[in-house]
Amino acid sequence: MLVLLGGLMMFSAVAKAERIRELASFAGVRDNQLVGYGLVVGLDGTGDQTMQAPFTGQSLNNMLSQLGITVPPGTNMQLRNVAAVMVTADLPPFARPGQRLDVVASSVGNARSLRGGTLLMTPLKGADGDVYALAQGNLLINGAGAEAAGSSVQISHQAAGRIAGGAMVEQEVPLALGGADGVLELHLNEADFGTVERMVTAINGAFDYPVASARNGGVISLNGPTNANSRVNFMARVENVEVNPMPAPARVVLNSRTGSIVLNGAVTLNRAAVAHGNLSIVIDTAFGVSQPAPFSDGGQTVVVPDADISIEQEPGTLKVVEGANLLDVVDALNALGATPNDLMAILEALKAAGSLRAELEII
């Protein structure tokens, strides 16, 4: 029995282990966001209406002038096949000139659909204003729609599309891995002192000498080699070291818009009493007719409303809730017959009373 118990404990420890690459990332190794403004042409009459979106016509005039075409002043161009879009992309780390990127084009005017459109050459700029990629290509739209006799039907969204490999990198982002002394920084995705301590111990144990030291609850300093090839091998070994992270803190997330509630497994309840009841007010109006007496003078027939107001309240029972784990908490709250909106109010009250042992986050 002891051997079996020990084996189960070892299996549980191995099952919970995660690689460092899933818990942290090296400083500087990250994506960079790119954005640009461009035009989509070739639409089937579903583009921007120039009266409501004059910037589309201005953009087309500027583009035509660069191509040597002059539009006479005062010309009212009815551009139903052109739409102005914003183009976004993520530039991955170590991207080199000539590498392809996926881009997303989203309408900024009043175009009904971008289906069948072609994005013209659009410079994509970074936060520093420099151009890092050029985007161009045919848009792929997942949605569909149809109109006839004043009726229309639409499936999904048609004002945004995607171009796989639609941008080509023209400039790389300078990235230096570590300083001249070979010192690297490892940034945790979620700061936690316990997880940092375990990661430092695991890294030093994997290399058999102290190469890692904690700076704070979210940053680890690594003494890596100065040679580029050796540094890459060193970083690969660090990323593959397995660590048992600290359990996530107890947290309850409430979505006030959708009414959804998410609790993680660490949520517990101290002993508390909750009274839950529903109050409903019903107003019923009946209309009667009042007529004058026969052969009376000056009488008129009138409609008399008769309002009946009743208030019903379900008996609120005071129930004790207490749970040592998530299942107990859910069962206790469900036993009250509470709806998601009621659960939000109950959880907020339990948090205020000090019974809910978890972080309450409302989004």
Task: Let me know whether 191 and 255 are in one domain.
Answer: no
Task: Let me know whether 164 and 185 are in one domain.
Answer: no
Which of 22-36, 88-102, 264-278, 296-310 is least confident? 296-310
pLDDT over 80 (residue 257):
no
Expressed as residue numbers, the domain containing 123 is 32-142+155-169
Identify the band that residue 319 occupies on the pLDDT scale cut at 50, 70 and 90: low
Task: Let me know whether 103 and 131 are in one domain.
Answer: yes
Q: Is residue 40 part of a domain?
A: yes
Identify the band that residue 46 occupies on the pLDDT scale cut at 50, 70 and 90: confident
Which of 164-168, 231-235, 339-343 is least confident? 339-343
pLDDT over 70 (residue 56):
yes
pLDDT over 90 (residue 37):
yes
Task: Let me know whether 220 and 316 are in one domain.
Answer: no
Q: Is residue 147 part of a domain?
A: no
Residue 55: φ, ψ to 5°: -65, -20
Task: Let me know whether 182 and 259 are in one domain.
Answer: no
In this prediction, residue 321 carries a pLDDT of 53
Count of domains observed in the chain: 3
Residue 50 tokens read as 């120039």
Task: Let me know whether 193 and 264 are in one domain.
Answer: no
Identify the band that residue 66 occupies on the pLDDT scale cut at 50, 70 and 90: confident
Q: Is residue 17 part of a domain?
A: no
Task: Let me know whether 91 and 43 are in one domain.
Answer: yes
| Number of Cβ within a 10 Å radius of residue 197 | 13
The answer to whether 119 and 163 have CB atoms below 8 angstroms apart is: yes
Identify the band that residue 18 occupies on the pLDDT scale cut at 50, 70 and 90: confident
In this prediction, residue 65 carries a pLDDT of 80
The answer to whether 40 and 117 have CB atoms below 8 angstroms apart is: yes
Q: Is residue 100 part of a domain?
A: yes
More confident residue, 198 or 155: 198
Largest CA-CA distance found in the chain, in angstroms, rounded: 116
Task: Let me know whether 235 and 318 are in one domain.
Answer: no
Q: Is residue 277 part of a domain?
A: yes
Q: Is residue 12 part of a domain?
A: no
pLDDT over 80 (residue 241):
yes
Task: Let me know whether 52 and 165 are in one domain.
Answer: yes
The answer to whether 144 and 154 have CB atoms below 8 angstroms apart is: yes
Identify the band that residue 283 occupies on the pLDDT scale cut at 50, 70 and 90: very low
Q: Please say which residue of 206, 223, 243 terminates a domain.
A: 243
Task: Let me know whether 163 and 96 are in one domain.
Answer: yes
Q: Is residue 9 part of a domain?
A: no
Please give the torsion angle defined by the CA atoms of residues 210, 212, 215 and 219, in that order, rounded to the nearest 10 degrees: -170
Task: Let me know whether 184 and 136 are in one domain.
Answer: no
pLDDT over 50 (residue 7):
no
Most confident of 39-43, 54-58, 287-291, 359-363: 39-43
Q: Please say which residue of 243, 262, 282 terminates a domain.
A: 243
Reference 66, options 118, 123, 127, 105; nearest CA is 123
Sheet holding 24-26, edge to edge: 24-26, 183-188, 219-223, 212-214
Q: Is residue 46 part of a domain?
A: yes
